[in-house]
Amino acid sequence: MARRAPLSGARTAVVTGASSGIGAAAARLLAADGWRVVVVGRDPARTRAVAAEVGGEPEVADFARLDDVRALASRLRDRHPRIEVLANNAGGVFGRPRTTADGNETTLQVNHLAPFLLTALLRGPLVAGRATVVATSSAAARMYGVLDLADLDNARRHSADKAYGDSKLAQILTTRELQRRLGPAGVSAVAFHPGVLATRLTRGSTSRMRVAYRTPLRWLVMGRPSAGGAELARLATGTPGVDWEPGEYHERGVAVRDSPQAFDDDLAVALWEASADRVGLSGADRF
Digit-coded pLDDT (tens) for 242-254: 999 999 999 988 9
Q: Nearest-CA neighbor of 42 among 106, 98, 123?
A: 106
Reported as a single tens digit per residue, the pLDDT across 63-79 is: 999 999 999 999 999 99
Q: What percent of the chain has pLDDT over 70?
A: 87
- Catalytic residue numbers? 164
Report the run of H or E that residue 264 belongs to, with start and end.
none
Kindly indicate the confidence band of residue 195, based on its pLDDT and cuts at 50, 70 and 90: confident
**Residues 285/74, Cβ–Cβ less than 8 Å:** no
CA 229 to the chain's CA centroid: 13
Does 201 have pLDDT greater than 70? Answer: no
Kindly state the DSSP code that residue 202 receives in the 8-state scheme.
T
Mean pLDDT of 15-25: 97
